[in-house]
A and B are shown apart, each in its own frame.
Chain A
Amino acid sequence: MSPILSTSELSRHFGGVAALNLVSVAIEDKQVRSIIGPNGAGKTTLINAITGRLPVTSGTVTYLGQDITSWPIHDRVKRGLCRTFQITSVFKGLTAFENVRIARQAHKGGSLRLFASRGSLKQVTEDTWAILERVGLTDKALAPCSSLAHGDQRVLEVAIALAGGPRVLMLDEPAAGMSPTETDQVAKLISDLGREMAVVLVEHDMEMVMSISDRITVLHQGGIIAEGTPAEISDNEQVKDAYLGSEKWAPLVALD
């Protein structure tokens, strides 16, 4: 099966520093692919380069058989390449409902109706409630987003991305700062989503990564040092070296 999304020798330099160096990675449909690595390994840079937040220095990104390397962001999203952000990026002044609704409207169309009401887009409203239901935010839908707890805002991030009708969903540390209970819920959600679409997950919580990933790619200093199933990665000596001295690796050792 050909991958739904792939990069070929993708590089991104900041000044003289290579944040990404010749990264080639292929993402399969309907799988959870985790990208791990120590801080500064280039995980977020990779997501930014794929989604168009950062222009690449060289290399290509191929999505659904097309070279999208220099596409504008919104065109990528319209084709189903959706993402969340490491630092929560929602529409703070709007309600949770409106956050998701506006994203759904982008996907479904109708934004150029100048003289209709927002509620007239019935399908959009219906879908919005379904998405909120799925992520468990129905009760808090009408609260202003800024009043939501941190964990709920992180979940809302995912809901907004889901509203875009993703075929590839890129999640940048979705569980950052969440309580253990919330983390479990989000892990379950991601795992389910991985059966419907391709999920690319950047995450520091190794327990979660090991339990829900189909494959794992390990980045170190901007390059790929290993790729494989969770079991293969946890046995990999090079990966252990890269993480040496980092506490983040501890859960993996415990898993052995």
Chain B
Amino acid sequence: MAPAAGARKHNIKEALLFLAALGFMMALPMWLPNRFYIRLVNEIMIYGLLAMSLDVLLGYTGLLSFMHTSYLGIGAYITGLFLMHVAPGSLWLAILVAVAATMLVAWPVGWVQVRTGGLPFALLTLAFGMMYFTVAWKWYSLTGGDDGLMGMPRPDITFFGLTLASSGDSHAMYYFTLIVVAVCLLLTWRVIHSPLGAVLEAIRENEERAAFIGYDVRRYKLLGWMIACGLAAVSGSLFILYKGYVGPATMDAFAGAAVLMMVLLGGMGSLWGPFVGAAIFIFMQDYISTMTENWEIFVGAVVILLVLFMPKGVAGLGGLLSRGQKA
């Protein structure tokens, strides 16, 4: 049938683009002049994953989370605490535990949030985000307070018993991040195009009508929320493995705005957009924050300008050029 054929063609195009991007990222370290840039690109991939998880919520489900970095932070703290206090060598287990524990935290919070409706949902993400921040900042004995979580061991990167490298090595960490992010991207792509993804899309388009065709809207919103928080937790694990450290500033309101800006820059409702947004943002931050102390004003102003003049972001520009997908 017609839509299936069209979709297949589109899928093949997307698959080729994905493989090309993956190949490019594989080869990229060869061209990068030094370790600093490798680490910068590593950070871009991590924040790209976080921004993509926010976009699953914002672009595909229509829910706004102001403090999505909270869940990166929680994932990072749990990974770190697990490696420090439970099993110093178990990298994969630490990631799994972090994702599971983050989702365990996110579940009741999400449950309360989806009961209240669209706008209160957004306000509550801010309130709960500040709560997490307060805990990370003030619970000194657990989190290290303002100083952050330090002294995390560097586990080896293993694969089915095979030790590949140490996570302390920049190159190894780069490839590790790349592979985890790529797998997450594929899984997310699969979910977005699944029957569940279709339901989330319908809720974004018209929440009331979605209820009137028989969907328990709150339940599906909660599912979307859980997926987004799970992905954010993965980005958190990658974050602490890459940095070797996590502090409360990772989860403050400004960090939340930064992720939102990445999504806006890249354009809502596309999976690759947030990665582009993250790249632009992090390069800009690297460049501009060395020149001015008023980085905050700059970020805020760009967010305002984006909303006013370019609400579809870079992906929107792409859409205009190729008349491809809707943003």
Contact = CB atoms under 8 A, between A and B. Distances in A.
**Do chains A and B directly touch (beta carbons under 8 Å) in the complex?**
yes
Interface stretch (A14-22, A103-111, A207-215, A229-237): A103-111
Contacts of B291: none
B199 interface: yes
A90 B206 contact: yes
A51 B214 CA distance: 11
Interface in A21-55: 51, 53
A78 B310 CA distance: 41
Interface in B179-198: 187, 190-191, 193-198
A160 B3 CA distance: 18
A117 B209 contact: no
B215 A106 contact: yes
A239 B209 CA distance: 34
Contacts of B212: 51, 53, 73, 77, 82-83, 85, 89
B8 to A, nearest CB: 9
A110 B198 CA distance: 11
B17 interface: no
Interface stretch (A3-11, A92-100, A243-251): A92-100
Contacts of B4: 119
A102 interface: yes
A116 B199 CA distance: 13
Contacts of B220: 111
A116 B194 contact: yes
Interface residues of A, number: 45
Contact of B198 (A74, A98, A141): A98
B210 to A, nearest CB: 8
B194 A105 contact: no
B199 A117 contact: no
B208 A103 contact: no
A142 B2 contact: yes
B35 interface: no
- The interface residues of chain B, by DSSP majority, are classed as helix
B1 interface: yes
B217 interface: yes
Nearest to A115: B190
Contacts of B204: 93
B147 to A, nearest CB: 40
Given A94-B202, A114-B196, A73 B191 contact: no
B93 interface: no
Contacts of B205: 91-94
A228 interface: no
Interface of B: 1-4, 6-7, 187, 190-191, 193-199, 201-202, 204-206, 208-217, 220, 326
Please give me the 4 A-B residue pairs with the lowest Cβ-Cβ distance, nearest first. Answer: A77-B214, A106-B214, A91-B205, A103-B213
Given A53-B208, A106-B215, A118-B193, 8 more contacts: A89-B206, A89-B209, A91-B201, A106-B214, A111-B215, A114-B190, A115-B187, A118-B194
22 contacts: A53-B208, A77-B212, A77-B214, A82-B212, A91-B206, A91-B210, A93-B201, A93-B326, A94-B202, A102-B198, A102-B199, A102-B202, A105-B199, A111-B215, A112-B195, A113-B195, A114-B196, A115-B194, A117-B193, A119-B3, A119-B4, A120-B195
